[in-house]
């Protein structure tokens, strides 16, 4: 197992990602072939079952796009399932303190480093490469906690000091809401919180990530020091495409054809 996304981050480059939230295989396949460095298959806020996520990752196979799964919770069973079907890493929501970060890491590692059960199924090509996978998985699988509460911001240094974290990612909607300024990403309280987690990441040498609310925002966040950025998702891309097309043809709707 070799994780291209880890290499990108290790080299200090920006890794641009997109979110897959629908169960449409064609959409996942198209996104994987458009050049994203990574795709996150979202089981936290999207109605995707584990079977659907596996099918989506199979549709995206054959590209250089790295598959990451955002699990629904910091739960060893959910994490194990995501990794066993072939995720190269997991984004783990609601990590608010050091103990929760330790639990996330241990769920991703095989004994003795962790408690991940042995049964990597698709990840090990259905048993044909199990030993090779297990030799490399602990090093190559990415553990990415999500920082999305005021508590997590206050504990950022302790969280990011945990050995085995490969990056962290900010959930701006939840974080701004937790700070009492929902969706106000320019509010001083939000900006101050972002500065604090960035400094904690630099101190711990853990790359910073962001679910950016659009490509323009992603550019701004990268200029601040974020390295792992999700620039949007399938539903947003679809809506933006529809909106752009309708705006272009809007004048035609006033014409009367006789």
Catalytic, out of 4, 25, 29, 45: 45
Mean pLDDT within 128-152: 98
Domains identified in the chain and CATH numbers:
4-254 (3.20.20.60)
Note the pLDDT tens digit of each residue in 58-77: 999 999 999 999 999 999 99
**Would you say 218 and 231 are in contact if contact means Cβ atoms under 8 Å apart?**
yes
Would you call the peptide bond into 98 cis, given omega within 30 degrees of 0 as the criterion? no
Note the pLDDT tens digit of each residue in 216-229: 999 999 999 999 99
Distance, in Å, from the CA atom of 141 to the CA atom of 105, rounded to the nearest integer, reads 10
Q: What is the pTM of this model?
A: 0.96
Say what the pLDDT of residue 258 is.
84
- Active-site residue 45, yes or no? yes
Distance, in Å, from the CA atom of 27 to the CA atom of 167, rounded to the nearest integer, reads 27
Distance, in Å, from the CA atom of 215 to the CA atom of 161, rounded to the nearest integer, reads 30
Q: How far is CA 214 from the centre of its chain?
A: 15
């Amino acid at each position: 197992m070799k994780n291209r996304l880890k290499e990108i981050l290790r080299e200090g480059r920006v890794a641009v990602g997109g979110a897959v939230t629908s169960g449409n295989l064609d959409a996942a396949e198209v996104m994987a072939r458009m050049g994203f460095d990574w795709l996150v298959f979202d089981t936290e806020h999207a109605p995707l079952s584990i079977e659907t996520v596996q099918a989506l990752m199979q549709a995206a196979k054959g590209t250089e796009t790295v598959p990451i799964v955002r699990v629904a919770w910091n739960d060893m069973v959910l994490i194990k399932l995501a990794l066993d079907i072939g995720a190269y890493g997991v984004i783990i929501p609601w990590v608010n303190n050091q103990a929760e970060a330790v639990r996330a890491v241990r769920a991703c590692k095989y004994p003795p480093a962790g408690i991940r059960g042995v049964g990597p199924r698709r990840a090990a090509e259905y048993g044909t490469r199990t030993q090779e996978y297990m030799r490399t998985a602990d090093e190559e699988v990415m553990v990415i906690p999500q920082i999305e509460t005021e508590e997590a911001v206050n504990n950022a240094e302790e969280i990011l000091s945990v050995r085995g974290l490969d990056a962290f990612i900010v959930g701006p909607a939840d974080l701004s809401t937790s700070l009492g300024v929902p969706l106000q990403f320019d509010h001083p309280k939000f900006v101050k919180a972002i500065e604090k987690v960035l400094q904690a990441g630099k101190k711990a040498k853990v790359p910073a990530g962001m679910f950016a609310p659009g490509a323009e925002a992603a550019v701004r966040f990268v200029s601040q020091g974020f390295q792992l950025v999700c620039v949007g998702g399938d539903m947003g891309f679809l809506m933006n495409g529809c909106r752009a097309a309708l705006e272009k043809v809007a004048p035609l709707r006033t014409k009367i054809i006789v």
